Structure 1
Amino acid sequence: MAKLFLSFITTFAFFISATAQLKSPSEFLGYELGTQFTRHHEVVDYYEYLAKEAPDRVKLTVYGKTNERRPLLLAYVSSAENISNLESIRQEHLKDTEAGGDTSKAIVWLSYNVHGNESVSTEASMKTIYELLTSKSQYLENTVVIMDPCINPDGRDRYSNWYNQYKNTPYQVDYNSKEHHEGWWNGRSNHYMFDLNRDWAWLTQVESQQRLKVYNEWLPHVHVDFHEQGMNNPYYFAPAAEPYHEVITDFQRDFQVTLGKNHAKYFDANGWFYFTKEVFDLFYPSYGDTYPTYNGAIGMTYEQGGSGQGGLGVITAIGDTLTLKDRIEHHFTTGMSTVEVSSQNAERLNTEFKKFYDNQNFKYKSYVLNGDKDKIDALKSLLDKHKINYGSPSNGTVKGFDYTTGGSGSMTTTNNSLVVSTNQTKGTLVKVLFEPNAKLSDSLTYDITAWSLPYAYGLDAIASTSLVSANGAAEQISSSDISPDSYAYITDWNSLKDAKFLADLLKAGIRVRKADHPFSIEGQSFERGSLIITKGDNQHKNDFVEVLTTASQKYDKDITSSMTGFVDSGKDFGSSSIKMITEPKIAVLSGGPTSTLRFGEIWHFFEQQLYYPLTVIDDEYADQVDLDEYNILILPGGRYGNHFNEKQLQKLQQWVRKGGKIIAMGGAIEALEGENGFGIAKKKMENDSAANIPSPHKNSERERIKDAITGAIFKTKVDNTHPLAYGYGKDYFTLKLGNASYSYMNSGNAVYLEENTKPFSGFAGSEAQKKVKESLVFGVENFGAGQVVYMVDNPLFRGFWENGKLFFANALFMVD
């Protein structure tokens, strides 16, 4: 007994000694936490220090790198026993998704700093991990805490470096001071100016792709996404606001309340202000709270007032001084409270997690899709990233909800069709991502209300209430017949992959033509937009056939060789209708009136999707640039108003008349209106006297949404004889993000809304529907020898509306 007691004393003394040796963040960094913004490499240093000094309780891994080569970290924090058994805990936990696990550990994932200038959370993470390892280590006996100290290192360092450059010494609390006003490219976004908090489902960014690989290996019980909001707002924590998506379980709702009440206990004791059940809903699936929720977690957003406005300290609208130290303390408190409650409820969390995966029973059992091979492949790639299973059905007919008509219908399936069913581990996520029209419990939402993947990927689809049996997805094999002795080589034009293929050829100096009319040759038929590469056009390239072969293999392209340019029907290859594609020399406007998000979508599209060069011209010096060096100018969406003065508009007009092409997107179109601009004009609305009747102030927010479109899907008409619409059918489902409305043009209306403007999916207010009926979506105005391409809706929005990207490629390559 004496030996046992001595052993206990020795072990306890060793623990106290090891704990006492750990340096706090302030001790390690050499300054009091909250008096400086810690650069990302210093944060990494501290986490590495803890992993080195407490290797039995901290496991640190690098799960990836950012575009700017900063490491992405995860710290696993728990008791020594749990860390030594970490892999077996993970595997046993994942068995719960199949109702077969036997574990009592709570898995809590804390994500910090997804928005770079919401920088307090990374600071709070260092205090949180230190206290978990010291004063609150009892929470770790039955809990594994996974901490991502900085999801967005590139954005964080952009902000912290900017702030350290411009702040007063030590700092200025007057909000008018420069240190509270970031410039155009602020720290919120990642390298490509994407909002990583809206990318969890779409996975367009490297940070998201690398994080989800690890997230899906754990599927935690609880996930918290730490944020900041405007500096004058009190703290927000769960429970969330309506609408909740209908798949969210009663337990997930109730546990948010349990956590919120525990947070409130600490905030009440300190006299801190907070709010719940407002603003931040649980609907749009690509957030750091909703995506985990749809994978079985208690997913939550915590919002501290401050953000990039806060700096090290600022006087708020009510005259209080909000400091970085205050902000750290608030995030630290909710973080520790989350771990505390999770530890207290570990058994319940495990039980309910099993139920989440065991009780999936949805109206639609299978989603069956037909369409272009490239679009099917693009969807498969996304499903693979989410670990969603799919297969190929037997040949036959499937009945159910028809996405194209919005009613009952049927579809003939082949071995090349795709089936995605809800009877799988990720069944809830499948329902959320594929359902035709997500059910809204409240039309006041924080984000878009429609995203259904069949519409986003441009695929024909049937949602079946019966389970459609499927085998492994069939592999569609492309074939190419690139004979060196051929007269010409022909391939189709249907997808972004085709545009990548063309871009590669143009970069390699290959000359390519396009067909402006359907044709048939040697027994095969080809549609408008088909690419024709002739030997005669490329006699200057000794390695012509080799380059063509390499590109076709790279992009899995079917190439048809022809021994003649004499067609069976249509236009011969020497016709003026078989036009040479002009090599695009592209410039894009940045800064000034442009939205960083809209600019970033274009930047990312060229560099990470199309792989084609573009020149970024900032608004500060745009007047000094000779536009004659370029043949395409892209104006990203933004707030332009009357940004271009009369002289600048005349310069643009002269450039277009000489053969230049403007691609104006979203808000940029407004800058080209008017007598001194181009031909585009806003729709004139008839006055509705009923709209002028006063309504009670309490209804003002409800009244405003009558004129709003919160990301809804509309069915549009397509003139696929127009070069802007090559590769499309007669209909296109567009994601409309607002009520901007432009009249039909005299000609060039490639995509447009007709009179019936009820959305197929998502919310659109009654007045907004009236406003957008019979309006332009995409169109081209000929102006002298050049063109202006108008894109009222954004085909590159957040990089996930896959079926819109060919319109943008057409604007680059096909419109002439």
Structure 2
Amino acid sequence: MNRSILFTALFLSTLLTAQNIQSPSEFLGYELGTQFTRHYEVVDYYEYLAEVADDRVQLTEYGQTNERRPLLLAYVSSANNISNLESIREEHLKSTNGESNASKAIVWLSYNVHGNESVSTEASMQTIYELLTSKSNYLENTIVIMDPCINPDGRDRYSNWYNQYKNAPHQVDPNSKEHHEGWWNGRSNHYMFDLNRDWAWLTQVESQQRIKFYNKWMPHVHVDFHEQGVNDPYYFAPAAEPYHEVITKFQIDFQKTIGKNHAKYFDANGWFYFTKERFDLFYPSYGDTYPTYNGAIGMTYEQGGSGRAGLGVITRNGDTLTLKDRIAHHQTTGLSTVEVAANNVDKLNSEFKKFYQTKNYKYKSYVLNGDKDKINALANLLSHHEIEFGKGTNGTVKGFNYKTNSQGSLKMNENSLVVSTNQKKSTMVKVLFEPNAKLSDSLTYDITAWSLPYAYGLDAIASTTEISNTNFETPSEQNSKLSKNTYAFVTDWSSMNDARFLGDLLKERIKVRTSYSPFTLEGNSFKRGSLIITAADNQNHKDFIGTLQKVVQNNSTIRLTNVNTGFVDSGKDFGSSYIQMIKPPKIAVLSGKPTSTYRFGEIWHFFEQQLHYPLTVLDSDYFNRVDLDEYDTLILPGGWYGSFFKEDQLKKLKEWVRNGGNLIAMGGAIKAIDGEKGFNIKIKKTEKDSTETDPMPHENWQRESIKNAITGAIFKVRVDNTHPLAYGYNQEYFTLKLGNDSYDYLENGNAVYLETNTKPVSGFAGSEAQKKIGKSLIFGAESYGSGNVVYMVDNPLFRGFWENGKLFLANALFMLN
């Protein structure tokens, strides 16, 4: 067969294939871009493609959301590649060991991580259609992995809202209701978490399930499709500074290669775009940085639009931005990305292999000591990321001491956790564990500190020497069968595992006491906050021992100590007023405006997925009609309260606290009840510098303003661990501070506070901000009548990953009397 005949045959084959596959518009029954497609319809289209083009599309359900929507991956390539998909994957992964002869490019395209940035899922359907038809030549040497919707719960929340409120036909006037999504918006997932900031922390089920498949493939290129403000043009790579120092020259250069290819298509269409601004590569938990730190070319693409845009909206320039426009832009960059990868297969494979060569990082090992539950929690996170670790041996390790922020030493033992950079995931280890990430530019898009030893509250040494270790096994405590003749059972209070155990006991109506004083008994020492479960308190429980045994079995890390008397060797006896009964609290949280969706979501997720304790959600729309006497505890999440609490509402709130209520105000909620409005906490006053200065050039304004900013920095603060709010903690705590809000010390009840040294141990804090936060409160509580008011200036639940802060909230719920 001559070349002309062969070409004609291939052309006819492609044409027939294209004719046999329905486009998204044909399949859905409406022109793509004229409606928002519901998630089940998107799933239907991908399942249809996997059926009619089963030789070139393989569909996998990799999990489900909290609301039971399926999470999908579509593998798209040539028929030959799909038939050899597993062998291609295995050969590709050999690159991480330097042994591969891989000859394919792996491109992963992730769509709709933010639910109301809804265009990308629509674009994904057109993109896969084009790859199977007009652009099928890209697939000869490329495997394209497509996640059509990372956040189905958020997407359906938005699309259902929009379909409910839009005009018919849609209204392009930006003042119309269809362009003003409400508080419960579609950006986040079920628990109001931002999935684009959860790649490293894996607090959400979507992230936990996705990372298993990401680690199975480790793509060469990963794209995270987004939307930004209505009036913004398109953003694509290369990214803005700062770049983390671990990012390679090739990764930076290849971003430019891809960006130039995009620009070629955008220029031809007269579309506007920008690069190298706003979206940097530093914080490790994004959909661009996490893949980058795992060897990929990780990129964010941002289309103007988001939830404000709807099906069409008039922009500031008087143009009309339509959903069809937005689809075309995302489809163009998606196909352009695959095209560049297909044209650079050898380079991508060779550089990916090079990325996984042994690195000469300064610190060769990280050694961590501390509470066994916190060690196990960190080990669990590392396992999800397939980061290798081991347990230590007896000896002393020298290096950078995280606690003192200087050179020091640490005694290592078989309970120590050892993480080496001499492993496949060495770059991730460096990024997640380094004491203070090098910041090339203080103007960043997110927090600048996240070091895991601080986040998990562990003593740690970063050593320039590789430390030998052995296999790490997560131990479970072995409790013998509980005896009915035991006077009491005692256990520690030092971690979220203990808080979960207490919550489970209270739900089973088992009475529990706590000690406000340390004590020793029968050769064992117990700290403040230790839990005491006596037989006498539970004599009327119908199955005390059986129920307690069941709760212990469900909390395998709990170790109960049997004691035969309440007569202590030192401290206070079990009948003392220092040994108080823990009342099972009935807890409510405020939702809706004026709270932050993120801050509310962190609390909601904390109760349902971490503490496993019931929580009532009270919406701001009807909050004033709620009888607060039905609740023992009310939590006010961070937010922007303004004048939300009117004078009569504040009076009602104060009366409720005075009568025994426990009010927990977090972050911005404190301003709504401060000394001028309700309670005794006072905003810290700082004197302004009266020194006259010359007028500042306008172009310097942004850079000068960061002197007053704290962009997610870690500070070493003092802890009064004799206060019930701080039970289970040492005398020092490392807090993640997200802004410069500061409050004076309370007259009494300063459980955690910042002293005069305001230099962060990690991350960026402006010079003026540091002056403002000196001698200020972090966490505190004041008695008010028969109740308490708890102030949490910093956020102990931030994004669900600051593990060492969570017990403070548990203390606020259970330990304050």
TM-score by length of 1: 0.99
1:244·1:283 contact (CA, 8 Å) conserved in 2?
yes
| CA distance in 2: counterparts of 1:803 and 1:552, whole angstroms | 23
1:416·1:474 contact (CA, 8 Å) conserved in 2?
no
| CA distance in 2: counterparts of 1:604 and 1:693, whole angstroms | 49
Q: Deviations over 1:551-607 (max 9, x none)?
A: 223222110111111111111101111000011100000001100000000000000
CA 1:342 to 1:691, structure 2 compared with 1: closer, same or farther past 3 Å?
farther
Q: CA offset at residue 11 of structure 1? A: 6.9
| CA distance in 2: counterparts of 1:81 and 1:15, whole angstroms | 15
CA 1:564 to 1:741, structure 2 compared with 1: closer, same or farther past 3 Å?
same
1:365·1:465 contact (CA, 8 Å) conserved in 2?
yes
Q: Which amino acid aligns with 1:768?
A: A
Q: CA offset at residue 478 of structure 1? A: 2.1
CA 1:241 to 1:509, structure 2 compared with 1: closer, same or farther past 3 Å?
same
Q: CA offset at residue 6 of structure 1? A: 8.5
Structure 2 equivalent of residue 520 of structure 1: 520
Which ranges of structure 2 fall in alignment gaps of 5 or more residues? none
Q: CA offset at residue 16 of structure 1? A: 3.2
Which ranges of structure 1 fall in alignment gaps of 5 or more residues? none
Aligned: 1:623 with 2:620? no
| SS of 1:689 mapped into structure 2 | coil
Q: Deviations over 1:108-160 (max 9, x none)?
A: 00000000000000000001000000000000000000000000000000000
Q: Deviations over 1:498-527 (max 9, x none)?
A: 000000000000000000000011111100
| SS of 2:356 mapped into structure 1 | helix
| CA distance in 1: counterparts of 2:509 and 2:168, whole angstroms | 55
| CA distance in 2: counterparts of 1:204 and 1:143, whole angstroms | 32
| CA distance in 2: counterparts of 1:496 and 1:693, whole angstroms | 53
Structure 2 equivalent of residue 329 of structure 1: 328
Aligned: 1:196 with 2:195? yes
Q: Which amino acid aligns with 1:490?
A: V
Structure 2 equivalent of residue 110 of structure 1: 109
Q: 1:456-605 alignment to 2 at 5 Å?
A: 456-480=455-479, 482-555=482-555, 556-605=557-606
Structure 1 equivalent of residue 339 of structure 2: 340
1:415·1:474 contact (CA, 8 Å) conserved in 2?
no
Q: CA offset at residue 643 of structure 1? A: 1.7
Q: Deviations over 1:462-491 (max 9, x none)?
A: 000010011101554524353220111100
Q: CA offset at residue 691 of structure 1? A: 7.6
Structure 1 equivalent of residue 69 of structure 2: 70
Of 15-24 and 694-703, deviating more is 15-24
Q: Which amino acid aligns with 1:233?
A: D
Q: Which amino acid aligns with 1:671?
A: A
* CA RMSD, Structure 1 to Structure 2 (Å): 1.3
Of 12-21 and 779-788, deviating more is 12-21
| CA distance in 2: counterparts of 1:278 and 1:562, whole angstroms | 64
Structure 1 equivalent of residue 723 of structure 2: 722
Of 639-648 and 730-739, deviating more is 639-648
Aligned: 1:52 with 2:60? no
Q: Which amino acid aligns with 1:338?
A: T
2:487·2:564 contact (CA, 8 Å) conserved in 1?
yes
CA 1:7 to 1:641, structure 2 compared with 1: closer, same or farther past 3 Å?
closer
2:17·2:133 contact (CA, 8 Å) conserved in 1?
no
Q: 1:758-769 alignment to 2 at 5 Å?
A: 758-769=759-770
Q: Which amino acid aligns with 1:560?
A: T
Aligned: 1:682 with 2:683? yes
Structure 2 equivalent of residue 279 of structure 1: 278
Q: CA offset at residue 8 of structure 1? A: 8.6
| CA distance in 2: counterparts of 1:206 and 1:693, whole angstroms | 53
Q: CA offset at residue 693 of structure 1? A: 4.8
| CA distance in 1: counterparts of 2:311 and 2:80, whole angstroms | 40
Structure 2 equivalent of residue 812 of structure 1: 813
Q: 1:80-91 alignment to 2 at 5 Å?
A: 80-91=79-90
Report sequence identity in percent. Answer: 73
1:229·1:305 contact (CA, 8 Å) conserved in 2?
yes
Structure 1 equivalent of residue 121 of structure 2: 122
| CA distance in 1: counterparts of 2:643 and 2:685, whole angstroms | 19
| CA distance in 1: counterparts of 2:650 and 2:736, whole angstroms | 30
| CA distance in 2: counterparts of 1:12 and 1:224, whole angstroms | 31
Q: 1:91-170 alignment to 2 at 5 Å?
A: 91-170=90-169
| CA distance in 1: counterparts of 2:276 and 2:802, whole angstroms | 31
| CA distance in 1: counterparts of 2:10 and 2:764, whole angstroms | 61
Structure 2 equivalent of residue 710 of structure 1: 711
1:402·1:461 contact (CA, 8 Å) conserved in 2?
yes
Q: CA offset at residue 170 of structure 1? A: 1.4
| CA distance in 2: counterparts of 1:696 and 1:264, whole angstroms | 33
| SS of 2:75 mapped into structure 1 | strand
| SS of 2:49 mapped into structure 1 | helix
| CA distance in 2: counterparts of 1:172 and 1:16, whole angstroms | 39
| CA distance in 1: counterparts of 2:581 and 2:272, whole angstroms | 65
Q: 1:405-420 alignment to 2 at 5 Å?
A: 405-420=404-419
Q: Which amino acid aligns with 1:762?
A: G
1:714·1:761 contact (CA, 8 Å) conserved in 2?
yes
| CA distance in 2: counterparts of 1:653 and 1:744, whole angstroms | 21
Q: How many residues align?
A: 815
CA 1:480 to 1:682, structure 2 compared with 1: closer, same or farther past 3 Å?
same
Q: CA offset at residue 90 of structure 1? A: 0.3
Q: 1:145-294 alignment to 2 at 5 Å?
A: 145-294=144-293
1:171·1:313 contact (CA, 8 Å) conserved in 2?
yes
Q: Which amino acid aligns with 1:72?
A: L
| SS of 1:358 mapped into structure 2 | coil
Q: CA offset at residue 70 of structure 1? A: 0.5
| CA distance in 2: counterparts of 1:309 and 1:676, whole angstroms | 35
Q: 1:735-814 alignment to 2 at 5 Å?
A: 735-814=736-815
CA 1:700 to 1:676, structure 2 compared with 1: closer, same or farther past 3 Å?
closer
| SS of 1:606 mapped into structure 2 | helix
| CA distance in 2: counterparts of 1:132 and 1:690, whole angstroms | 64
TM-score by length of 2: 0.98
| CA distance in 1: counterparts of 2:6 and 2:390, whole angstroms | 58
| CA distance in 2: counterparts of 1:740 and 1:214, whole angstroms | 41
